[in-house]
Structure 1
Amino acid sequence: MVTELLGVCLAVVLVFVLLQVTTRRRRPGEPPLEPGPLPYLGVALEFSRNPLGFITSRWKKYGDVFTVRLAGHYTTFVLDPHSFTHAIRNSKVLDFRVFSSKIAHRAFGMPIVYGTHRDWVRADSDALYPKELQGQGLEKVTEVMMTNLQSAMLAATDVKAEWNKGELWSFVYRIMFSASYKTLFGRHKEDEEETARLLHAMEEFQKYDKRFPEIISNVPWCLMGQTKKRYEYLKSMVSPTELSQRGVSDFIRMRQEIYADGNLSPDEMTGFNFATMWASLSNTVPAAFWTLFYLLKDPVAMDAVRAEVDQILKETGQSLETVKEAGKMIHVTREQLNDMKCLGSAINEALRMCSASIIIRVATEDAELALESGSTFRVRKGDRVALYPGFLHMDPEVFDDPETFKYDRFLENGMEKTTFYKNGRKLRHYLLPFGHGVSMCPGRFFALNEIKQFVTIVVCYFNMELMEKQTPPKDQSRAGLGTLAPLKECLFRYSLK
C-alpha cells in the first residue's frame, strides 16, 4: 500500500515538473498566449472538434493575433485579412519549405532536397507548373481531361431504368479519380483490367487519405492498421516502372526527365509522383462534390448554370443530340471554360463554404513581424505563424449571410466580382482556398477547370435530383488540409438525357 502511494506521488511530481518545464510564459511583445490544458497537445482536441468555432471564440477573447499550443507547436494565428500578406511576407525568417518537405517525406516518401545541392531538382520540376498547368500547356491537358471525364462518367453510370439511385460522393469520387489520374499519368498501354485496377486504387486512396491527419502527425505506422500497406500500393501506381507502361502527360514526362537528370532513385521519383497524385485529388474531388451538391439543392442556381452551359454549346453548334448522332463527345475549350462566369461563381461559393486550409510558416529565428496597421508582434524560433482563411470566408461583414450558398455571390454585371470589404476597406485577398504566397497551389487553374468540366458534363448528359436535401456534415478532422469532405453519403437519383 505504501509502495503504491509513493508511486502515485512520484507520478504526480513528474507530471508537475513536466508541466513546469514545458509551460511557456508570455514575453514582452508577444501575442496573448493560451498553452491549453493538456501537455504537448495543448488545445488540439478542442480545435479538432470545431476549428472555426475555436478560432472565433479566441478571436472574441484575444483579438486578431494570439498564440496557442497546438499538437506540440506554438502557433500564432493572424486573423486580420488586411494583414495576411504583411504577416507572412518575411521569407528570411518565415519558412514554408522546410515544414512542407518534412510532411511530404512522411506522407509520400518524397526526398528532402530543399536546402541541399539537389534542390535544383525541386525548383526545376516546380517551374513546369506555369507552363504546363497554368499557361499554354493547360489548353492541351484541358482537352484530354474533357475526354477522360466523359468516358469515366458514362462508364460509372449503370442506367437500367428511367431513374437510377446512387450515392453522390461515390459518384463524384469515382469519376474524378479515374479522369484525373488518366489525364496526368496516362492510360496503360496493355492492361485490359485498367478499369477494375483504377477502381481498386481509388478505394485504397480513399482509405489512405482518411488517415492523412494521423499520417502527417507522425502517428506510428503500426498503430494505423493497413495504412502503410496502402502507402506502398499507391506508390506502385506512380512508380517509374508503372509510368513507363503508360502514355503520361507532357507535364509528368518532363518531370521524369528532370528527376533522371538529378540522379534520383526510382523510389525518390515515386515519392514526387505520389505527392502530385495526392495533390491533384485530395481537394479537387470534395470541391467538385460540394459544387454539384449545392447546385442540385438550389434549382435556381442549377437553372442559371444550365443556361450558361447551353449557351456555350449553342455558340459552338453543339447539342447532346448532334453529338450522340455523330458518335462524338461534348467539346469545351479552355477559353470557353473561362467564359463560364456563373459556374465559376458557384464553384468559388462552394470553396468559400467548404475549404478549411491553414497557411503555415515556421520561424527560423526569433523575430518581430509587422501587421498592416503598423503594429508588431514577436515570435520565437520554431514557432508557427498561421493564417486561417476559413474565418475570413465565414465573416458576415465580408460575406452577407455566410452560412447560405449563393451561387451568384461572386458575380457582378455578368463578370467576376472582386470587390469585398472589411472595416470599410477593400480586401486584397478575400478568397483563399488554394493557399497564399509561396504555398499557393500551383495546380489551381487545372483544378478549377476540372470542376467546371465535371459540372458541364453532368449538366449535358444527366437529369439529377437529390433524394435528401439535408446538407451532410463536413469531416472536420481534415481542417488545415484544404476542402473538407462530407462525413456521410448523400442519396440522389439520375437519368441519362
Structure 2
Amino acid sequence: MLSFILLVILVVCFCLHKTKGILWGRNRKDDEPPIVPGHPIWGNGQQFNNDSIKFILGAQKKLGDIFSIRMLHYFMTVIADPHCFDAFSKERSFDFEPIQEQVNGNIFGFKIPEANRMRKFVGKTTRGSAVPRNLHAFSMLLEESYSTLEHESSFGEWNTVSLDRLANQTLFKTIFNSVFGEDKESTSFNYELFHKHLQVFHKYFSYLWIGLPHWMFPEATKAVEQLFNQPTPSEFMKSDCTSEYLKAAIEFLQSYNLSDKEIKCHNLVFLHINVNTFKIATWCLYQLMSHKAAMSSVRAEIENLVEANKEMQQSEDNVVTISAKEIENLETLDSLVMETFRMSSGVFMVRHNQEDTNFTVTSTGQTYRIRAGDKVMMYPPAIHKDPEIYENPEEFQYDRFIGKTFYKNGKALKTPVLPFGSICPGRRIALLQTKWYIVSMLYKFDLELLEGESCDFDTTYPGHEIVPATNDVQIRFRHRESSTKIQVTQQC
C-alpha cells in the first residue's frame, strides 16, 4: 500500500512539473466532442486503469460514439464507433509518427529519422513475394526447434512442462532466430535470456510510454540494459542468418548516421513487436486445450488438408507442402485465431491530431471538431467486447467467425476484429506465422492442460497489444506418430 501511495505521489509531482504546476481543465465548445468527467489531477486515468473496457463502453452509452477523456496532462478523443475505422485510418490530420516518436523516445531513448519513409523502405521485406519466402524460412527454423524438443523429451510418452516454457522453446526461439540469427556460442545473446528480460520489461511498458521516468521502475531499467547485449549492427549485416527486415532497417538507419546504440534500440522495438505473435499464438494453444471441441475441429481441418494435398502431390519422400494461401483458407483455424484476438487484444490505436479537424461519425453523420494537438484513439478491446456486436462477448467461441456477419447500429461491420493495429506492415506474415505454429503443433503433438490448471487475462498492466496471462499453466504433450511430414512451400 505504501509503495502504491508513493507511486501516486511521484506521478502527481512529475505531471505538475511537466505542466509547471497548472491543473488541467478544458472548456468544451459546442462543436467539440463531450468530455467525460474525471479527477481534477489525473483525469480519467484511474477509471481507465480500473476497467478500460467497462469505462469506454459506459462513456459511449452515455455520451455517444465520440467523446474526449483526459489522461494526466493530455486530452484524448475516443472514436468508439467501429464503422469509423476506415475514416480514422485515412484521415491525413491523424498522424502516427509523433506517437511512434513518443514511444521510441520515452522507452528506448532514440528517434527514427523520417519514420514513414523507413516504414515504406523496410516494408518490402514483409509484403508481397517476401511473405511466402519468409514464412518458409520461419517454418524451417520452427522444425529445428521441434527436433531439439523431440531429442530432449520421451517420444510417444507424456511430458510435463509449463505452457510458457514449451512456447518459448519452440515459437519464441524461432521468432528470435528468424530475426537475429542464432549464435550458439553466445551466453548473453540468446532467445532464453531475451525472453526472460522481455517479460520483465513488458510489465512496465505503458508507464514508460506515457513518459514516467525510468528510475521509477528499476526492474525494467535493469532488463533493458541486459537487452542491449547484442551484436553490433556491422556484425548483423555480415551474418547470413540475419533477417531481410533487420538488414534493411540497419541499412536505412546507418544512412542517417545513427549510432550503434540507437540502432540497437530499433532492434528492440522490432523484437517487441514480434513478441505479439508469441503471445497470441500461446493464447491460441491455451484456448485449444481449454475447449476440446475447438481442438478436435481445428485438428480435423488440418488433417483433411494434409490428406488432400498428399493425394494430389503424391510425394515420394512423404513430405506434403502447404501454401500460405491454403493456411489462410482454413476457416476454423482462422475463426479460432480471430476469436483469440477478440478476447486478448489490448491494443491502442492512437494518432496525434496535427490541426483542428472536423471529423464525421460514420454511424450518425454528426461532425465534431477535434482540437490540434489532441490525441485521437480507437480502442479495439471495447469494440471486441461490445454486447451489441457480439452475443455473450465474455465467452470464448472458437467458431464464432465462421460464415458470420456482425452488425452495429444496424450496419454490417467491415472489420469486426482489429489485430495488430491499422498500419502494421507485417500483419499478414505475423498472422501466417501464428497459424502455421498452430498447424504444426497440432499435427505433431497431443496437448493437454493438467487437471485444475487455468489462467485469465491480466488487465493490471494496461496498454499491451496482447494482454498477458495472470499466471503460467502446466500442460503435458506427447509426439504423434505420422509417416508424413508437412512443410510450407515458398510459392504464394
TM-score in terms of structure 1 length: 0.84
The number of equivalent residue pairs is 456
Q: 1:486 to 1:331 in 2, by over 3 A?
A: farther
Counterparts of 1:225 and 1:240, CA distance in 2? 27
Aligned residue for 1:169, secondary structure, equals helix
For residue 414 of structure 2, give the secondary structure of its aligned residue in structure 1: coil
Take 2:265 and 2:402, find their aligned partners in 1: how far apart are those partners? 40
> What SS does the corresponding residue of 2:182 show, helix, strand or coil?
coil
Aligned residue number for residue 78 of structure 1: 79
Please tell me whether the aligned partners of residues 106 and 210 of structure 2 are also in contact (alpha carbons under 8 angstroms).
Answer: no
Superimposed CA distance per residue, residues 76-118 of structure 1 (whole angstroms, 9 cap, x where no aligned partner): 21111122333453313x22211221212232344242xxxxx
Give the equivalent residue in structure 2 for 1:424.
410
Question: How far did residue 23 of structure 1 move?
Answer: 2.5
Partner SS state of residue 206, structure 2: helix
Structure 1 residue 196 displacement after superposition: 8.3
Give the conservation status (yes or no) of the 8 Å contact 2:23–2:40: no
- Could you give the per-residue CA deviations for residues 200-247 of structure 1, whole angstroms, max 9, x where no partner exists? 122112111222122212222222124233223323326414524642
Aligned partners of 2:335 and 2:398 also within 8 Å: yes
Structure 2 stretches lacking a partner, 5+ long:
1-15, 481-492
Separation of aligned partners in 2, 1:489 and 1:329: 35
Q: Are the aligned partners of 1:102 and 1:112 in contact in 2 as well (CA < 8 Å)?
A: no
Offset at residue 296 of structure 1 (A): 1.2
Q: 1:251 to 1:424 in 2, by over 3 A?
A: same
1:141 correspondence with 2:127:
no
CA RMSD of aligned residues (A): 2.8
Q: Which amino acid aligns with 1:448?
A: L
Pairwise CA distance, 1:256: 2.5
Aligned residue runs from structure 1 range 38-437, under 5 A: 38-39=40-41, 41-87=42-88, 89-92=90-93, 94-113=94-113, 119=114, 122-128=115-121, 130-156=123-149, 158-160=152-154, 162-188=157-183, 191-193=184-186, 197-237=190-230, 239-244=232-237, 246=239, 247-281=241-275, 283-317=276-310, 332-372=322-362, 373-412=364-403, 417=404, 419-436=405-422
Is 2:206–2:463's contact at 8 Å kept on the other side of the alignment?
no
Whole-angstrom CA distance in 1 between matches of 2:340 and 2:452? 16
Q: Which amino acid aligns with 2:126?
A: L
Quick check: 172-181 or 134-143, which moved more?
A: 172-181
Which secondary structure state, in structure 1, belongs to the residue aligned with residue 478 of structure 2?
strand
Which residue type is aligned with residue 406 of structure 1? Q
Question: Relative to structure 1, is the Cα distance of residues 148 and 371 closer, same or farther in structure 2, using a 3 angstrom cutoff?
Answer: same
1:462 aligned to which of 445, 449, 460: 445
Q: Cα offset for 1:153? A: 3.8
1:384 CA drift (Å): 1.4
Residue 29 in 1 paired to residue 25 in 2?
no
Q: Report deviation, 1:75.
A: 1.4
Paired residue type of 2:182: R
Q: 1:156 offset after TM fit, Å?
A: 4.7
Percent identity, aligned pairs only? 27
Structure 2 vs 1, CA of residues 239 and 312 (structure 1 numbering), >3 Å: closer, same or farther? farther
| Distance of 1:153 and 1:387 partners within structure 2 | 39
TM-score by length of 2: 0.84
Q: Distance in 2 between matches of 1:429 and 1:306?
A: 27
Distance 2:448 2:418 in 1: 30
Change (3 A) 1:395 1:471: farther
Does structure 2 retain, via aligned residues, the 8 Å contact 1:31–1:377? yes
2:97 and 2:116 in contact (8 A); partners too = no
Structure 1 residue ranges without an equivalent (≥5): 1-14, 114-118
The question of whether the paired residues in 2 share the 8 Å contact of 1:30 and 1:377 is answered with yes
